[in-house]
Structure 1
C-alpha cells in the first residue's frame, strides 16, 4: 500500500534517492559499492545487475531483426528498439530533483545522480584522474596508450572512446529533416534545431550563479562552472594562467604555439579551438543583428558588440604583469605575452626570419613580394606596412 500512496521511508545516504521498501534500498546500495558480480562469459565485462548482463548478451547475438528507421541502428529485441526510439522523440520525462536536468531514460538519471554524490572510486594510475564508472576509466586509459579500437564503418575514422564514435556517427546520419532557416544547418531531431535557434536569437537562459555569466547551452554553463571550482592545478609556463583541467591547458598552449587544428570549410580560416570555429561559421551567413551606435559596425553576437564598445570607451583592463602594458581585449594580452616568452613559431622560408605572430610574417612576406596594401589618401603613395603609412601621414 505504501507503493500506491507514494510513501518512501527508506533514503539512500549517498545520493538521497528514496525507496518504498527496505529491500529496494539494499539493492540500490550495491550500485554505490561498485561491486560487479555478474560477468559476461564471452568478453569478460562486469555488471552490477544480472539484467544488465542479460541485456549486454544481445551484443554478442548475431540476429538483429529490429531496425531503427531514423538512424539505422539494429536491435535483437523489439523492446530495445522501443527504448531507443524514445531518444529520437526528444521526450525527457526523468528530471533530477537537485539541478533540474532532464533525461530520456531512467537509468541515465540514476547515472547522473552519482555526479551530485561525488562518488569517484576508479582512479587512473598514470595521471591520477578519478572516475565514477569503471568503463569511463577504461576508456580514459586508451588516451594514454593512443589505442583507437572504435572504428567508423562509413568513413573508417578511428576513435579512443565509444561515445566519441557514437557522436561522430551523427555526421553520417541520412535523415536530417529539420533545417535552420537562418544558416541552413540541418538536424536529425526537431529538439536539436530548437536548441540551435537559441544561438541566432541570442537567447541565454543558463546563468552562472557565481559570476552571472549567461550561456545558450547548459553544457557550456557546466564547463564554465569548472572555473569556479577553485582547483586550478594546471599552470601555463608561458603566461602563468592557471586552469582547472589538463585538457584546457593543452588547448590554451595550442594558442601560444599557434597550433590550429580546426579549419573552416568555407574560407579555409584555421582556429585553435573548435568552439571558435563554430562561432566563426555564422560569419559566412551574414547574420549581424547587433550594431554599434558609435561607428555602425555590426556584429553577429551581442558579446562581441559589448567587447567592441570597450575600444570606444578606452577601457584597457588587461594588464601585462611583466611590462605593465594595457590591452582592451584579453586575447591581445595573451598574444603580447608571447613576446616576453620569446616564442617565434612563424618562420619565413625565403630569408629564415622568425616572427612571434602570424600577421607579422604575412606582412613581411608582402615586402618580399612587393605587395603594398596601404595607400595614402593625400598623395597616393603605397606602403607594405601600416605603421609606415601612419609615419608618412604625420609628415604630410
Structure 2
C-alpha cells in the first residue's frame, strides 16, 4: 500500500521530502540520500578505469564510460548530430527551437546553453585564461583561441565565391561579402558617409575626432590609420613599388599612380569656377585659383619679388642669381 501511495505521489508530482541542508525537495526519500551523497557529502566510490574520474552513482560512471567508447546513440532529428547523453541532445534541440532561457545580467544577451552564458560572463569580467603560445594574446573562450591559432598557421578555409579571397574566420568572410553586395549599413552620424564594415566606421569616426595615434618615427607626422602611416614611411625609405605601364615612372603610393594614370587618360575633373580651365589633379586647380585671387606666397630671397607658383619662383631665382653674378 505504501509503494502504491509513493507511485501516486510521483504521478501527481508531489515532493514531500526536503533536504535539510539546501532545502531542495524530492518525491522519494531515497532521492534525498542520493542527493546528499552526490552534492553535499561528495562521496564518489565509482572510479573510471580509463581516466580516473570518480562518480557518486554507478549510473553516472556507466554514462561516462560511453564517452571513452565513443558511443553516441542519441541523434538529432533535425541535423543528425549524435550525442552520448540524452540530456545533451535535449539541450541541443533548444538551439533548433531558438530557446534562449539563460540571460546575462550585465547586458541582457540571451543564450541557449548555460555554459555559453558562463563563458560570456567571463568577457564582462575580463577573464582570459586561454593564451596563445605564439604571440601571448589571451582569450576568454577556448574556441576563440583555436581560431586565432589558425591565423598563425595560415589556415584559410572560408573562400569568397565572388573573388576567391580566403579568410581564416567565417565572420571575416561574411563582412567581406557585404563589399561585393555594396551593403553599407554603418552610417556616420557626423557626415552621413556609409560603410560596409563597423570597424571602418570606427576608424572614420577617429578622423572627425582628430585622433591620430600612429606616429612616424622619422618626422613625427601623425596619422589616424595605421595603413596611412605605413604608406608614409615608404616615402622616407624611397620605396616606389607602383609603376606606370605607359611611361614607366614609379610612385610610392598607389593613389599617386592612379592620379598619374588620369593624366595619360586625359581625365580633367577639376574645373576652375572663374575661367573654366580644367585640371587632372585637385591640387593643380587650387594653385591655379591662387592666380585669380592674386595670392603670391613664394618669395625670392635675393630681390623679394613674390610669385603665385613655386615653379615661376625657381625660374626667376635662376635668372636673378645670374644677373647678380
What TM-score results when the alignment is normalised by the length of structure 1?
0.41
Bigger Cα Rg: 2
Higher relative contact order (CA 8 A, sep 6+): 1
What TM-score results when the alignment is normalised by the length of structure 2?
0.48
